[in-house]
Structure 1
Amino acid sequence: MEVRPLPDGADPQDGPTNIELRHLRAYVALCEEANYTRAAAALHLSQPALTRTIQQLERIVECRLIERTSRRFALTDEGAELLTHARRVLADVDTVAARLRARSAVEIGFAWLLPTSWLAATRRRYEAAGGRLTLRRVDDPLAALDVRAIDIAIYRKAIRLPSHFDSRVIATERRLLAVSVHSPLATATDLRWADLAGYPLVVNVVSGTTHAGSWDEGDPDRPIITCRNFDEWIELVAADRGIGGVPDLARSRAPHPGVVYLDIPDAPPSHVYLAWHAKPEPSRAVRRFLGVA
């Protein structure tokens, strides 16, 4: 086969020296459309950008691929040979990428009890669409998300997020009062939320839902006992160091022999949130998960 050289003045060293996938995708699109304008539109490129990409490809392989004629679009023998191989290469790459994406999992980080019905429904919808979910317990889901140790954070603490995060509410939960079995409150009746404003309060500063600001008119001298996870929180409450507020899921999912959970009719509800990286744009798998969550 006679190799047709590049036009006079073309330098094989101009631009990239190796064929890249973008060259092959541009070349296949051009061959299928047989028209620079239509191919550029299909690739979401400008026509000059497509022309430069094809010229780069011809420099890399050091031969003409497309006949230079104004009457019709035609490939050289070398161009037809490259088209056959380019289609096979792109098909192989796309197949491998699809298989790897199908095996990838979205990792969800959470500090403690997950909203069971939401998780079951979301997992069912996501896995029916071909995705996989994995769960990871961490003390601070938002910190783990920030360093990209997880893909999605589930959290309950109502705070202002960094600008590169986005979030949404996925559930609203009733709030219970948690007290030690040794506390006089353990047998109290007809308690109102405002009645609790002066009691010592145990606060999980990382992932808790209740803090001094959860009361409109709290006691500024109220003792606050802080901790950093649920396990510490419930042991401090059991030790009668203070009272605590917790979503009602704890009553059935986190019973403790030293803790009594009490219904407070006017206790403000708490919310469960999802958070994810909005900048840069999340991966395709995360976007699919958000679509079913």
Structure 2
Amino acid sequence: MDEQVLPDGVRSPAVEGGSANIELRHLRAYVALCEEANYTRAAARLHLSQPALTRTIQQLERLLECRLIERTSRRFERTDEGAELLAHARRILADVDAVAADLRSRATVEVGFAWLLPTTWLAATRRRYEALGGRITLRRVDDPLAALDARSIDIAIHRRETELPSHLESRMIATEQRMIAVAANSPLAEATDLSWADLADQPLVVNVVSGTTHAGSWEQSDPNRPIITCRNFDEWIELIAANRGIGGVPALARSRAPHPGVVYLDIPDAPPSHVYLAWHAKPEPSRSVQRFLGVA
């Protein structure tokens, strides 16, 4: 069975008839013409030129080897065959549209994240989206924004505050308390009453791809401060455990990412970090992504 690519990108299966194929575009054009009873109005409704609509109807008549519309200047009138086709065409189109709508409603949205998913938000969003018939799959990637830009995921969850390209859009979904992670054998592990400013000269481990904390997270920082960089959370936590430096991390790391070589310290005046969703805004996102954003 052949298929036709429609203007909206949906592939239209063809219905075999005679030596050629009747396509959904023929049926849609014919139904619109019958309902409007006027070529000009039907062409406008279908976003076609009038000659294009006329050619489509004539092609349908050739495929069926019968006349569907009586040619008269006084009125629009269907033949008996045309009336019979109209009833079947409406049923066929309704069935196809219903199936397409159902499949779209059950579409899977792939959500990419680097580390430490905001579980409360995710549970609520998954419940609401799946209540609409959709599905969410999670994919662990080192750089969610790069994966989103490459279209290997539909939605990126990220914490890194960055300027996005014009075709991507972002929305903040959560604010998180920030802690400091230090090596278990570091003198800081036993320190009390630390302030954020007290840590401005400490060697700092920075996840340059998806981390939340960098030298600029302090208003005044030692320009000679050692900065140790890495590219993912696993490297980051191992560098902390090796006492290469301290690192900032959302508070949920204490329960979600325990490590025998790392101690998490509460810093009362630590600036909060934020969680963002990002998606492709240009071209317009798919219906499933729009539904996800609606419940997220």
Bin the TM-score by the shorter chain. 0.7 to 0.9
Matches within 5 A, 1:65-214: 65-214=68-217
Give 2:52's aligned amino acid.
Answer: R
Q: Deviations over 1:201-239 (max 9, x none)?
A: 001111100011111121221111111111111111011
Gaps (5+ residues) in structure 2? 1-19
CA distance in structure 2 between the aligned counterparts of 1:18 and 1:225, rounded to whole angstroms: 65
How many residue pairs align between the two structures? Answer: 274
Q: Deviations over 1:110-130 (max 9, x none)?
A: 111111111111111111112
Q: Deviations over 1:156-199 (max 9, x none)?
A: 00011111101100000011011011111111112111111111
CA distance in structure 2 between the aligned counterparts of 1:25 and 1:173, rounded to whole angstroms: 52
CA distance in structure 2 between the aligned counterparts of 1:29 and 1:135, rounded to whole angstroms: 42
**Are 2:255 and 1:252 equivalent residues in the alignment?**
yes
Q: TM-score, normalised by structure 2?
A: 0.86
Instruction: State whether residues 240 and 247 of structure 2, in contact with CA within 8 Å, keep that contact through their aligned partners in structure 1.
Output: yes
Report the Cα offset of residue 40 of structure 1: 5.0
**Residue in structure 2 matched with residue 231 of structure 1 by the alignment:** 234
Instruction: State whether residues 26 and 54 of structure 1, in contact with CA within 8 Å, keep that contact through their aligned partners in structure 2.
Output: no
CA distance in structure 2 between the aligned counterparts of 1:156 and 1:130, rounded to whole angstroms: 29
More deviation in 265-274 or 23-32? 23-32
Report the Cα offset of residue 137 of structure 1: 1.1
CA gap 1:245/1:108 in 2 versus in 1, 3 angstroms? same
Q: Deviations over 1:72-100 (max 9, x none)?
A: 32113443343244224323322332342
**Are 2:269 and 1:266 equivalent residues in the alignment?**
yes
CA distance in structure 2 between the aligned counterparts of 1:26 and 1:50, rounded to whole angstroms: 11
Give 2:229's aligned amino acid.
Answer: T
More deviation in 251-260 or 241-250? 251-260
CA distance in structure 2 between the aligned counterparts of 1:112 and 1:137, rounded to whole angstroms: 7
Give 1:162's aligned amino acid.
Answer: P
Give 1:124's aligned amino acid.
Answer: R
CA distance in structure 2 between the aligned counterparts of 1:89 and 1:161, rounded to whole angstroms: 44
**Residue in structure 2 matched with residue 242 of structure 1 by the alignment:** 245
CA distance in structure 2 between the aligned counterparts of 1:81 and 1:25, rounded to whole angstroms: 15
**Residue in structure 1 matched with residue 225 of structure 2 by the alignment:** 222
**Residue in structure 1 matched with residue 59 of structure 2 by the alignment:** 59
Report the Cα offset of residue 246 of structure 1: 0.2
Instruction: State whether residues 36 and 51 of structure 1, in contact with CA within 8 Å, keep that contact through their aligned partners in structure 2.
Output: no
CA distance in structure 2 between the aligned counterparts of 1:220 and 1:18, rounded to whole angstroms: 73
Instruction: State whether residues 236 and 242 of structure 1, in contact with CA within 8 Å, keep that contact through their aligned partners in structure 2.
Output: yes
Give 1:271's aligned amino acid.
Answer: H
Higher strand residue share: 2
Report the Cα offset of residue 28 of structure 1: 0.7
Q: What secondary structure does 1:135 align onto?
A: strand
How many percent identity over aligned positions? Answer: 78
CA distance in structure 2 between the aligned counterparts of 1:247 and 1:50, rounded to whole angstroms: 61
Report the Cα offset of residue 18 of structure 1: 5.8
**Residue in structure 2 matched with residue 45 of structure 1 by the alignment:** 47
Q: Deviations over 1:104-157 (max 9, x none)?
A: 211111111111111111111111112111111111111111111111000100
Match for residue 21 of structure 1 among 20, 24, 39: 24
Q: What secondary structure does 2:235 align onto?
A: helix
Instruction: State whether residues 39 and 53 of structure 2, in contact with CA within 8 Å, keep that contact through their aligned partners in structure 1.
Output: no
Q: What secondary structure does 2:78 align onto?
A: coil
Q: TM-score, normalised by structure 1?
A: 0.86
Instruction: State whether residues 32 and 46 of structure 2, in contact with CA within 8 Å, keep that contact through their aligned partners in structure 1.
Output: no
